[in-house]
Amino acid sequence: MPRENRFLKVFLSFSLVVLALVVAAFVGYSWFAPSDITGPPDPTVEGSDHLDPVIEEEPEQEPTGLIPVEGPEFEPVTVSFTFNGFPYAITPEVANGVYYGAIELPRVMHWDPDLTEDQLMEDYYQRLTFDSAMDPAIEYVIAILREVRLEQDLDSAAYAELIIKYVQSIPYDHSRLETHAAGDIGPGDPRMPVQTLVDGTGDCDEKVMLAAALLAYEDFSVAALLFEEEAHMALGLKGEGSGYLESAYEFVELTGPGYVTEVPAEMVGGVILSSTPKVLKLAQGFLVYPQSAVDEVAWIIHARDTAIDSAEAKRAYIESTWMTDDQFYYERSLYEAAYVAANSFRVTVDWDGQPNYENPFMDRPQALDWLAVNYWWQ
C-alpha cells in the first residue's frame, strides 16, 4: 500500500476516535449534569370538610375534563322544598355517562408555578363546578326554577334566594363526617354538581359547588368561603356592600335553610365558625345581592331575637290583667305571634340537617309580609 494511502487511513481512524470521544462526552454531560429545572414545592393544601386535593406536578398536557362513562341505570332523587310557603319538587335529569364520568374524573389539583395556592384551589373548584358536560343537567333545573320565578314574580334577590333555598333543602350527608374523619375518601369525592343532583344529598363543599353552578348560570357572582380551621365551606354571594368580614361576598350557609348573610351560632355537626375564610372566586357575573335585602334580613333577625322577651312580657301582662274573653284571645294571639317569629325566622333543621316541619322556615319575602301584620312588639 502506498505511504500516502496508509497515512490517510491512519488519519481517518484517528479522526473517528476523536469524534466518538467528543460525542460521548457531550452525551454524558446531558445525562449526568445537574439540571437548571427543578420541580415544584410540595405544599400542603387544606381542603374543605373532607377534601385534601392531590397536587399533580407540571402536567405534560392540558388536563382533560369530564369524559362520559356509561354505568348502571339510576333514578335521580326528587328534592322537595318550599319557597314563600308554596311547595315544589324537582327531579333532575342527568345523562348516565355524565354522572359516572363525574365519578371517574380524577380529583387532582394541577400544579402551575405561576399561580398562588389560593389560585390553585380556585382553579380546582372551578373545574369541578363548571365542567361543560354538566350544562344540560344544570339547564334542566334552571328551567324549573325560572318557572317558579315567573309564577311568584320574583325580583333578582328573591330569585337568588329561591335557588339557594332549593340547594339548602337537599339533605345534608351526615355520614360523610364519619367516613372523612376516618380518611375514607374514594373516587368521585367530593361530588360534582351532577352527582349531588342525582344522589339527592351532599355535604358543605358539594352543596356550595351545586349552588355556585346554578347561580353562575343565572349571572350571579359567586365564591367559595373556605374555613380551613373549621374544615367547612360556605357560599359567597357577591353583594353591593362590604360583605362578610369585608370580603365583598355575603355569607350563605347551605347545610340547612337560612337567610343570606346569617351565620348560624352552631351548624350541623357542631361546627362554630371563628376564623377568617379564604375567598375562592368561582364566577363573575352582572348580578349582585342588593343592600336593601341585606337590611331587610337584619330587620327580620332583630324581630326574631327580640320576640321571646316580648312574648314573656305579654304573658305576664295577660296573667296579671283582668280582661274580657275577646280581649284575652286577642292578647293571646299576640303572644303566640311572637313565638312564630322566634321559631320560623331561624335555621330550622335537626342535628342531621333535616328540616323541622313543625316550625317551617319563612323566606325573606314571606317573613316581611308576615311582619307587616304581626310585628306588634317593635
142-167: pLDDT as tens digits: 999 999 999 999 999 999 999 999 99
118 residue type, one letter: D
Per-residue pLDDT at 352 exceeds 60: no
Helices then strands (H, E): number in the chain? 11, 8
- Domain coordinates in residue numbering, the chain: 1-33, 54-288, 293-374
Confidence label for 20 from pLDDT (cuts 50, 70 and 90): very low
Handedness of CA 319, 323, 325, 329 (dihedral sign): negative
Q: What per-residue confidence (pLDDT) applies to 37?
A: 30
Lowest mean pLDDT among 54-63, 104-113, 182-191: 54-63
Q: What per-residue confidence (pLDDT) applies to 28?
A: 36
43: left (phi over 0), alpha (psi -120 to 50) or beta: beta
**Average pLDDT estimate for 59-73:** 79
The top-scoring range by mean pLDDT among 36-45, 168-177, 289-298, 347-356 is 289-298
**Average pLDDT estimate for 318-323:** 95
Percent of residues, the chain, with pLDDT higher than 90: 68
Q: What per-residue confidence (pLDDT) applies to 45?
A: 36
Please give the mean pLDDT across all residues of the chain: 83
* Grid cell for residue 243: 360583605
With a CB cutoff of 8 Å and minimum separation 6, the contacts of 294 are: 239, 240, 241, 250, 260, 261
Per-residue pLDDT at 32 exceeds 70: no
**Average pLDDT estimate for 21-41:** 34
Confidence label for 56 from pLDDT (cuts 50, 70 and 90): low
Q: What per-residue confidence (pLDDT) applies to 2?
A: 45
Over the stretch 90-140, which tens digit does the pLDDT of each residue have? 999 999 999 999 999 999 888 888 899 999 999 999 999 999 999 999 999
Q: What per-residue confidence (pLDDT) applies to 355?
A: 58
Q: What per-residue confidence (pLDDT) applies to 179?
A: 61
Q: What per-residue confidence (pLDDT) applies to 345?
A: 92
The pTM for the full model equals 0.81
Q: What per-residue confidence (pLDDT) applies to 182?
A: 54
Per-residue pLDDT at 29 exceeds 60: no
With a CB cutoff of 8 Å and minimum separation 6, the contacts of 319 are: none
- Helix 135-152 vs helix 204-217: angle between axes, to the nearest 10 degrees? 70
Per-residue pLDDT at 22 exceeds 70: no
Q: What per-residue confidence (pLDDT) applies to 13?
A: 45
**Average pLDDT estimate for 345-350:** 70
Per-residue pLDDT at 314 exceeds 50: yes
CATH, domain range 54-288: 3.10.620
CA distance 134 to 194: 6
Confidence label for 181 from pLDDT (cuts 50, 70 and 90): low
**Average pLDDT estimate for 367-376:** 94
Per-residue pLDDT at 15 exceeds 50: no
Q: What per-residue confidence (pLDDT) applies to 175?
A: 76
Lowest mean pLDDT among 21-35, 236-250, 280-294, 339-353: 21-35
